Structure 1
């Protein structure tokens, strides 16, 4: 099942509902893009109002390294003709719905990245703001290609190669473990309740979320709804 679809006309994200037989709790996964159209964020916010708990991505604390990496998507919204916004909590989170954040601290995130070879770490720090400038200058079309597509059960050779990408592991492994542990606690403590638990994380984390809920607790994807992330201008 595809999580993010990229065509010549639009980028779309699939909101996935996962259920477990005999358990009333539902996990609703929102694969996020850190830069998107305002309409996308308003659609997500409207659906989050229908949830009882939100599990939210967000590295806690500040560091120069994390700020450098996030330049990749903070540049793009500054060019108004792109019609894009940066993801922010005030655009997404409805009032009255409790939020938990099991993510890592900035110090932990940078410590994980520094396990990479030094040349790779330095290249990453240089590459991120450069890609942000390209995105800002060329707009969304700069990234409209099939390489952006994300699947929860990747089968292509390229996907298998990406699974062994040391940068990907350094950026996501600890964060995915923390998230799955938190979802496991919610399942154990509230699995008997008929509630909807929203999981609002970047699309790159969703394969691990989907497979983790399936393997650890038996939740299966049951429904999906496509939301348009942006349409190139």
Structure 2
């Protein structure tokens, strides 16, 4: 399933609606890049106004390690001419729509990463500021690299360590499990209600979300929209 589409003129993200035969509840997945154009953020906010519940990503609490690993996301929007915004709840979540956050704490996230070999962990931390500088200097055109859109890591690092490897598991396994458990509770408790539940999570989590909803609860992707994340200048 294609989640992020990168072409020579734009980056688009699929908004995926998942339904289950005999159940009125719908899950609508919003794969989020960590930075995007203000227009994209506004479009997502407008769509979220029409949902009944929002399940939102966000590591809870603070730590030096998490701050270091998210440095790239904070660098890119700082140059105004780049026309980018960092994904923040204040920009995305509309008033009046209830939301829940089943994500891990900062301490749990760092504990998972520290199960990696020390050199791997240190390389991950050291690479992030470099990536942030690249994004800040190149601006939106850096996002024509699909790997950057999905993982916000250099393609060589992702190829060597991310795709199905220990770094990917350390960064996502516990978080994906928590999310799917929360979605399972919603399915059990509110499956007979005609509500639309938005899942606002990073694009890298979406394959696990789709597979989990399908394999655990029988939901299938039924429709997709393609809002534009950004148009490189």
Q: What residue is the counterpart of 2:74 in the other structure?
A: 74
Q: Give the secondary structure class of the aligned counterpart of 2:210.
A: helix
Question: Once the 2 structures are TM-superposed, how far is the Cα of residue 145 of structure 1 from its aligned partner?
Answer: 2.7
Q: Who is 2:48 aligned against? A: 48
1: CA distance between counterparts of 2:75 and 2:143?
14
CA shift at 1:98, angstroms? 0.5
Report the Cα distance in structure 1 between the residues aligned to 2:162 and 2:66, rounded to whole angstroms: 22
* Aligned residues of 1:16 and 1:29 also touching (Cα < 8 A): yes
Question: For 1:94, what is the secondary structure of its paired residue?
Answer: coil
Show the counterpart of 1:63: 63
* Counterparts of 2:94 and 2:179, CA distance in 1: 21
Whether 1:139 and 2:139 are equivalent positions in the alignment is: yes
Match of 2:228 in 1: 228
The residue that corresponds to 1:91 in the other structure is 91
Q: What SS does the aligned partner of 2:15 have?
A: strand
Q: In angstroms, what is the RMSD of aligned CA positions? A: 1.5
Give SS of 1:41's match: helix
Partners of 1:16 and 1:224 within 8 A in 2: yes
Give the Å deviation of 1:89.
1.0
* Cα distance in 1 for residues equivalent to 2:72 and 2:148: 15
**Partner Cα separation in structure 2 for residue 36 and residue 11 of structure 1:** 9
Number of aligned pairs? 225
What stretches of structure 1 of length at least 5 have no aligned partner? 151-157
Query: How far is the alpha carbon of 1:148 from its aligned partner?
Result: 5.1
- The TM-score normalised by the length of structure 2 is 0.93
C-alpha contact 1:7 1:145 (8 A) present in aligned 2 = no
Q: For residue 14 of structure 2, what is the aligned residue in structure 1? A: 14
SS in structure 2 of the partner of residue 16 of structure 1: strand
- The residue matched to 2:227 in structure 1 has which SS? strand
Question: 3-state SS of the aligned residue for 1:139?
Answer: helix
Where do 4+ consecutive residues of structure 1 move more than 3 Å? 146-150
- Cα deviations by residue, 1:100-122 (Å, 9 ceiling, x for unpaired): 00000000000000000000101
2: CA distance, partners of 1:109 / 1:149 = 21
Instruction: List runs of 5+ in structure 2 lacking aligned partners.
Output: 151-157
2:2 is equivalent to residue 2 of structure 1: yes
SS in 1 for 2:61: coil
8 Å contact kept, 1:16–1:221: yes
Aligned equivalents of 1:36 and 1:227: distance in 2?
Answer: 11
Question: Where does 1:184-203 land on structure 2 (aligned, <5 Å)?
Answer: 184-203=184-203
What corresponds to 1:155 in structure 2?
none
Superposition pairs of residues 108-187 of structure 1, within 5 angstroms: 108-147=108-147, 162-187=162-187
**CA distance in structure 2 between the aligned counterparts of 1:49 and 1:58, rounded to whole angstroms:** 19
Partners in 2 of 1:146 and 1:120 — Cα distance? 23
